[in-house]
Amino acid sequence: MESYLMVAVFFALALALPIAALTLGKFLRPHQPTVEKGLSYESGVDPIGDSWIQFNARYYLYALLFVIFDVGAVFLYPWAVSYNVLHSEMGLLILASAAIFILFLVVGLVYAWKNKVLEWK
Amino acid sequence: MDPLKFLGPVIVLAGILGFVTYAILFERKILGWMQSRPGPNQLGPWGMLQTVADVLKLWMKEDTIPNNADRPLFKMAPVIAFVPSFAVIAVIPFSPSIVFADLGVGLLYFIAISGITTIGILVGGWASNNKYALIGSMRSVAQMISYEIPLVLSIVGVILAVGSLNMSDIVLKQEKMWFIVPQFLGFVVFFIAMLAELARTPFDLPEAESELVAGYFVEYSGFRFAFFMLAEYVYVFAMSALTTILFLGGWNPLFGLTFIPPIIWFLLKVFFLVFVIIWLRGSLPRVRLDQLMQMGWKVLLPLSLVNIFLSALLKEVPFIQAFF
SS3 at position A76: helix
Are the beta carbons of A18 and B78 separated by less than 8 Å? yes
pLDDT for B202:
85
Q: Which residues contact B5 (CB under 8 A, 6 or more apart)?
A: A6
Tell me which residue of B76, B81, B77, B20 sits closest to B51, measured CA to CA. Answer: B20
- Give A47's contacts in chain B (Cβ within 8 Å): 68, 130-131
Are the beta carbons of A6 and B5 separated by less than 8 Å? yes
pLDDT for B2:
67
- Give A19's contacts in chain B (Cβ within 8 Å): 79
pLDDT for B210:
65
Question: 10 Å Cβ neighbour count for B6?
Answer: 14
Residue-wise pLDDT tens digits, A21-43: 888 888 888 888 888 777 877 77
> pLDDT tens digits for chain B (324 residues)?
566 677 888 999 999 999 999 999 999 999 999 999 988 888 888 888 888 998 888 888 888 888 888 888 988 899 999 999 999 999 999 988 888 888 888 899 999 999 898 899 889 888 888 888 888 888 888 888 889 999 999 999 999 988 889 999 999 988 888 888 888 999 999 999 999 988 888 888 777 666 667 778 888 888 888 898 899 899 999 999 999 999 998 888 887 777 888 899 999 999 999 999 999 988 988 888 888 888 888 899 999 999 998 888 888 887 777 777
Residue B202: asked if its preceding bond is cis (omega within 30°), the reply is yes
pTM: 0.91
Give the C-alpha separation, B11 to A87, whole Å.
43
Are the beta carbons of B153 and A76 separated by less than 8 Å? yes
State residue B105 phi and psi, 5-degree precision: -110, 35
Instruction: Of A6-10, A70-74, A117-121, B109-113, give the lowest mean pLDDT range.
Output: A117-121
Between A69 and A37, where is the model more confident? A69
Q: Measure CB to CB from residue A118 to each of B102, B298, B313 and give the nearest one.
A: B298
pLDDT for B70:
85
**What Rg, from alpha-carbon coordinates, does chain A have?**
25
pLDDT for B24:
92
Instruction: Of A51-60, A103-112, B82-91, B191-200, give the lowest mean pLDDT range.
Output: A51-60
Please give the residue of chain B at the shortest CA–CA distance from A102.
B305
Tell me which residue of B76, B101, B106, B126 sits closest to B169, measured CA to CA. Answer: B106
pLDDT for B30:
92
Q: Measure CB to CB from residue B219 to each of A21, A25, A41 and give the nearest one.
A: A41
CA distance, residue B252 to nearest chain A CA (Å)? 23
Give the C-alpha separation, B130 to A50, whole Å.
8
The mean per-residue pLDDT over the stretch A68-89 comes to: 88
pLDDT for B209:
66
Question: Does ipTM come in above 0.90?
Answer: no
The mean per-residue pLDDT over the stretch A62-90 comes to: 87
Q: Is A104 left (phi over 0), alpha (psi -120 to 50) or beta?
A: alpha
Q: Which residues contact B271 (CB under 8 A, 6 or more apart)?
A: B240
Cβ atoms of residues B151 and B193 within 8 Å: yes
Q: Which residues contact A91 (CB under 8 A, 6 or more apart)?
A: none
